[in-house]
Amino acid sequence: MELDGKKTLDSDEKMIQEAYQDLLDGYLNSNHRKKVEIIERAFRFAKEAHKGVRRRSGEPYIMHPIAVAKIASQEIGLGSTSICAALLHDVVEDTDYTVEDIAQHFGPKIAQLVEGLTKISGGIFGDKASVQAENFRKLLLTMSEDIRVVLIKMADRLHNMRTLGSMAPNKRYKIAGETLYIYAPLAHRLGLFAIKTELEDLSFKHEHPDIYREISEKIQESEARRSAVYSDFSEPIKRKLDSLGIKYEAKARLKSIYSIYNKMETKHLPFEEVYDLYAMRIVFDCDDQSKEKGICWSIYSAITDLYQLHPNRTRDWIVTPKANGYQALHLTVMGPDGNWIEVQIRSRRMDEIAEKGFAAHWKYKIGEGDEESELNAWLKTIKDILDNPEPSAIDFLNTLKLNLFASEIVVFTPAGELVTLPAGATVLDLAFHLHSEIGLHCIAAKVNHKLMPLQTVLKSGDQVEVLTSKTQMPLPEWSNYMVTAKARTRLRKGIRALRQPMVLRGNEILTRWLADNHIEDNNLVITKIQGIFHVGNREDLCYQLGADEIVLGDFLVKPLRKATGKTGTGLLSKIPLIGKMVGSTTGQTKTQEAPTSESINTKQVYRLQSDENGANYKLASCCSPLPGDDVMGFIADDGKVEIHSLDCPQAQILKAGYGSRIVATEWAKDGHELFLAHVRIEGIDRRGILQEITQLISSHLGIDMRKLEIEASAEVFHADLWVRVSDADVVNDLCSRTKAINGVTRATRIH
């Protein structure tokens, strides 16, 4: 036994040293100043601190900090300070060492980064909504102090996603959900495109393993055909560029599996009809940054001499880079097989910035300018939101998402000042962007010298003069005409200031009434009152009380005292779990309290079933899942387990925001209950085709039709059909058989 233990220790030591040497080799091959001694000290310090500790996967814990440091160094391009911080990032959180110890051994800068990472440990989110919002707020505040904190955090998340397979299903859903909802768009906004793509693919792989595998196999099967098409397309371009004497590298850039799946879902296409599976990328060498633009356009000219250009798909991100620093020239041309192919043209500098994001900017920085960098401008916007956070964690995260995912337009003020806004931005967005007072008193605008209303959507190149009036007061419904987080935050702050006297009066009324009736003022009670009066939060409740719009009466006393009669401190502790939890190994059943992150047995799955007393779950109306779909359970406020499809947008929000309420589920295979499913059918109209479709469904397949809407225009028809089925396989079979009818071009289930 001692011999086996020694062998394990020896193999562990060998694995650790090889991983560390790999990290060091990559650093030594970079352009950073070589500070090997401090990295060596940080490695030895972290290794000793984590000695004897193993990850869930069984490997020594130190392998995780080494992997994070390697990603930070080799995939993001950070230097020795960040490598040391990455190696030490879990030391303060998981051992007895303090930030002061780190500062004493490694200096204030590394200690500051480690402290920033410790503040946001355990992922962005904790188990409670308020903790989630606060942790995310800390992340962004720390980001605004030193961007390297969030870049190392991104490396930490990427390695956790690469090793997610060892986690329990409900934990995987939570982590994959928050990754897709927050980390991937944040990576995109920071210009970390390679990391953003991998985070999306890994999240998708863990949420939909079967679909991921199916698309992967189809990509492999179509490789030979795709390579032949790419070769036919690229060879003439290469010959042309060679003749021009341009030094370049050309390669096919395959769409990510997640992007392919998204396109299939949004366009309702089978894999075979996703024609833009790849793009061609041309990366050229140029030592003089002032010549990059000219070379880009000479390559553009060479390509358009060979192939037909798509008139609406040229994107010049060189003159006006994206807000995350991305620069390139994109064009789309008709390939030899008759399909459109995108070509991306970049210099080596642009390519590195595109792949590694803002970290690469430091390498190419040429002196200090007067203007703020795009990143600092974005961080300034984020700080604007942080100063006035949403009361609800989910609202807060959604507000951030407005900025994270935005693509940009550029408009001009009358003085010629250039303003970058998200696509879809309105006059109100611009007004609040310029100043809160301008937004709050905005009445209209002159867009290109023409008077236009507040809700007018702006386009790139518009010249906009915002008109104001002192008598104008802001309205809550203005938020319906805004797309920027900044505008919505400033509007809420302005309205809140106007409402504050009423809110204070209402809060006094509420507090006094609860005290007089001996009812505890806690979250459960307030949530119950909000539900009775149909208001979204405490502030709205107090405002309506203060404005005498609602009145607290005796009818509330009994239900509120009943609600607080049980022990427990939080809402979740009072929610019973309907039904039974089924052990995946023993099959034993037992009654279970509402699962929390601490209490859930990682080997248990919630079985979805129904009997004469009804179902032990409810289906979410937003995605209408069926047995056979990849689903998850969410414990709603009423204690019922609500079932969502894993890729439902609302499910993404729930996974990101309420991880402790997520339950791994499985469908009971009884097949007695029927569910409503929506199928869309399209095709070429001809006499008798509708009769054939309905006969197939009712007579041959024996499926109960509940509703049919059909519309024909010229020679084309569109039909929406609602049927009652036992599971997803029945719908898939229905779609497959319907497509076999002469004239039907598409039959797809609509979620």
Q: Catalogue the active-site residues.
A: 93-94
What kind and span of H or E run contains 347?
strand 340-347
Whole-angstrom distance, CA of residue 276 vs CA of residue 260: 9
Are residues 270 and 736 in contact, defined by beta-carbon separation less than 8 angstroms?
Answer: no
Q: Which residues pair with 675 in a beta bridge?
A: 725
The type of residue at 252 is A
Are residues 279 and 229 in contact, defined by beta-carbon separation less than 8 angstroms?
Answer: no
Torsion angles phi and psi, residue 259, rounded to 5: -65, -40
Whole-angstrom distance, CA of residue 133 vs CA of residue 392: 8
Helices 538-546 + 485-516 axis angle, to 10: 70
Return the structure tokens found at 90: 């879990």
Q: Order of strands, edge to edge, in the sheet holding 662-663?
A: 618-619, 641-645, 631-635, 662-663
Torsion angles phi and psi, residue 170, rounded to 5: -65, -35
Return the structure tokens found at 365: 């920085």
Whole-angstrom distance, CA of residue 313 vs CA of residue 65: 43
Q: In sequence order, which ranges of 96-251 are alpha helices (DSSP H)?
A: 99-106, 108-119, 129-145, 147-162, 169-178, 184-189, 193-207, 209-221, 223-244
Is 692 buried (19+), middle (13-18) or exposed (0-12) by CB count in 10 A? middle
Are residues 216 and 257 in contact, defined by beta-carbon separation less than 8 angstroms?
Answer: yes
**SS3 string of 698-750?**
HHHCCCEEEEEEEEEECCEEEEEEEEEECCHHHHHHHHHHHHCCCCEEEEEEE
Are residues 245 and 285 in contact, defined by beta-carbon separation less than 8 angstroms?
Answer: no
Is 8 buried (19+), middle (13-18) or exposed (0-12) by CB count in 10 A? exposed
Number of H helices, E strands in the chain: 29, 24
Whole-angstrom distance, CA of residue 442 vs CA of residue 431: 7
Whole-angstrom distance, CA of residue 529 vs CA of residue 541: 8
Q: In sequence order, which ranges of 387-484 are alpha helices (DSSP H)?
A: 393-404, 427-434, 436-440
Whole-angstrom distance, CA of residue 317 vs CA of residue 599: 51
Whole-angstrom distance, CA of residue 30 vs CA of residue 38: 16
